[in-house]
Amino acid sequence: MKKNVVFRLWLFLLIAGLLVACGGTEGTTDTADETTSETAGEQPDAEEVADETAAEETADERKIATFIFTQEFDTLSPLYTSMWFTTITYQFWEVWAWHFDENNEPFPVLLTEMPTVENGGISEDGTVLTFNLRDDIVWSDGTPITSADFIFTYEMVVDPNNIVTSTYPYDQIATAEAPDERTVILTFDEPFVPWQATLWHGILPQHVLGPVYEADGTLDNAEWNLAPTVGAGPYVFAEWESGSFARFVANENYWGPAPNIDEIFVRFVPDDASQIAALQTGDGDLGTFIAYSDIPALEEAGVQILSVPSGFNEGWFFYFGDDAAPGHPAVQDVRVRQAIAMAIDRQTITQDLLLGLTEPAATLWDNMPYVDPSIEPWPYDPEAANALLDEAGWIDSNGDGVRDKDGVELILSHGTTIREIRQDMQAVAQQQLAEVGIQLDIVSYDADIFFGGLADGGPAASGELDIFEWSDGPAYPDPDHYYWYCSEIPSEENPDGGNWQRLCDERLDDLFTRQTTQINFEDRQQTFYEITNIMFNEVIWLGIWQDPDIWALSPNLTGVKMSGATPFFNIAEWDLSE
C-alpha cells in the first residue's frame, strides 16, 4: 500500500503547528490559550504527546489506493465530457441513478427499484418512465437529493446556453415532471428503448449549481466543473492538481455502507511505460488501457490482469467532410475505403503487436447480439485492393509510387493519440498502404489535444485529418450509438457535436432513430443487422482489433468486481491488504 505524499506533507505541517501552539507564544490566539499551558515555553505534557502520537498512527493506518491513469480528466462535470477516464470516476463520487454489475445487469443506486412494466415504472406503451427515489440519499454536504436535482439536470442538458457535449438522449424527452420530492416522470413521444444505458449518468446538485446558473446564465464556467466539492457517492472530490494527481476521500455523509478504502489517489502519467513501471514497482494499485505486449511482464511481477468485455473496439473513422470543410476526394469513394480495408493485414497485427490475445474487429458492435452473423472481418488481400484502386481511377501516373487522380495525390493523413500501440499500428499501416500506392502521413497527439472538440481546435473534430483512430463502442450494454446522427455534425452552432466524421447518411439516420423505439428485441436486432451491413460493406468505420477493458490490479487490492459498463460499481467493497 502506497501512502499519499501530499497527505503526509499536510500531516507534518499540522503536527508542527500543533507543537508550536502547545509551546505558547506572544501571538497565540485566544482559542490556543484555552488548550495550552499559560506558561510560555512550557513543554507539552504526556497526555498531549500521546494524543499527537495516536493521531499520527491513525493517519499512517489510512488506506490509500493509487490508481494510475494515462489520460488526465478534461473536466469532471457530466455535462461537458464523454471521456472514458472521467466518466468511470462517477461510480465513486457522482453515482448514476443505477449502475451495472459484473454481469452487466442494472441495479438501482439512487432509486428504490428499476422501472419495469410490472411495477408500474414503465407504461404499457413504453412512452412513460417513472423513477422512485430512495428517501435516504443525500449530497456529500448533507443536503437531500430530490427529484428537483433530476429535473434541474434535465433542464441544464437541454438548455442552449450550456454548450454541453451532447443533449442526447434528453432531447428525446417530451416532458419531465416531479410530482413530489421522491418521484420523477419522463414522457416520450415514442418508446425510448435505450434509456437504461443513457439516462441519469450523473445528477447535478441544484442547490450548488442553481445559483451559478441564475447569476451567469450558463454553467459553462462553473467552478464545480473542475472542483466538484459536492457530489453523491462513497467518495467525495478533494483536489485536482493539473498534470499530476486528483484525490477523492471517503464521503462521511454517504448513505450506503462506508467504503473500506479511505482515499482514491488518481495519479496521471504521461505514457504507457510510466504506468507499467508504477505497477511493477508497487507504486500503483490499479492501471488500465494496458497494452497486450505489457501483460507478460506485469504478470511476472505478480500483477493480476482482468479482461472485461465493454463493447469497445479499436477502429478507423473516415472524414467525409461537408461544404464547410470538404474531405479528401479519395475517402468519398467506397472502393477506396474497401481497398484500404483489404490492404491492411489486421490478423498479423493482432498476432505480432497484440500477442494474439485479441482478434480483428469487424463492427462497432462485435461480441454483441446485434451484428449480422454473416459479417466477418475484411481479409488481407492487396491484389484485390490494387484492383479496386485501379477501377476507381487512382493510378500512379507519374511513377513516384503514389497513386493520383485528376491531379490529386492519394496522400491521406492519419492521426491518433501517443499511445505506443497506436503509434506501432500507424507505422505498420503506413508501410502496408504504401505497397498499394497510398501514402499515409501519420501524426500523434496528446489525448487532451486529439480529443478536443471543434471549439477547442481538436484535429479530428476540425477536419484536419482524413482518418482518425481510437477505441470506441456503443452505450454498452445497449447497442445505441448517438454520434452517427446528422444532427451531431459539429458546427459553429453545435461546436460539441460528436459526428466528427461529418457523415450525414439518411439511411443510417432513419435506422438509428428506428432502433430506439423498437421494444421487441428481434425487431431491434434486425434493424441493427441493417446498420452493421451498411457500415461494414461501405467501410464507414473500419475495425482494427477488439478492445475489451484490460485492468491491472495490485495483489493487495481485494473485493474487486468489474463491469464493462460501470467498472467501479462496487468500489465501496474494495479493500487494501498489506
pLDDT digits (tens, 9 = 90+) for 54-72: 444 455 689 999 999 999 9
Cell of 353: 503487436
Give the H/E segment covering residue 412: strand 411-417
Give dist(CA 461, CA 40) in Å, integer: 67
Q: Which residues contact 8 (CB under 8 A, 6 or more apart)?
A: none
Q: What is the mean pLDDT of the chain?
A: 90
Confidence of residue 344 (pLDDT cuts 50, 70, 90): very high
Q: What does the pLDDT average to over 189-215?
A: 97
Give dist(CA 558, CA 573) in Å, integer: 8
State the virtual CA torsion across 425, 428, 432, 433 in degrees, nearest 10: 50
Does pLDDT of 445 surpass 60? yes
Verdict on whether the full-model pTM lies above 0.75: yes
Query: What residues form DSSP beta bridges with 549?
Result: 308
Does pLDDT of 50 surpass 70? no
- Provide the pLDDT for residue 8: 41
Pairing of strands 439-445, 467-472: unpaired
Which among 220, 209, 221, 200 has a CA at the least distance from the CA of 133?
200
Which among 232, 202, 196 has a CA at the least distance from the CA of 219?
202
Q: What does the pLDDT average to over 465-492?
A: 95
Give dist(CA 121, CA 130) in Å, integer: 5
Cell of 61: 493506518
CB of 275 within 8 A of CB of 551?
no
Confidence of residue 463 (pLDDT cuts 50, 70, 90): very high
Does pLDDT of 240 surpass 90? yes
- Provide the pLDDT for residue 45: 52
- Provide the pLDDT for residue 42: 42
Residues 92-121 pLDDT 10s = 999 999 999 999 999 999 999 999 999 999
Residue 361, φ and ψ in degrees, nearest 5? -95, 145
Confidence of residue 21 (pLDDT cuts 50, 70, 90): very low
Give dist(CA 438, CA 520) in Å, integer: 45
Which among 300, 301, 271, 267 has a CA at the least distance from the CA of 286?
267
Does pLDDT of 9 surpass 80? no
SS3 content of the chain, % helix, strand, coil (to 5): 30, 20, 50
- Provide the pLDDT for residue 55: 46
CB of 316 within 8 A of CB of 438?
no
Give dist(CA 453, CA 474) in Å, integer: 19
Q: Measuring CA to CA, how many Å separate 169 from each of 78, 84, 108, 109, 165?
A: 13, 18, 20, 20, 12
Give dist(CA 269, CA 8) in Å, integer: 21
- Provide the pLDDT for residue 10: 40
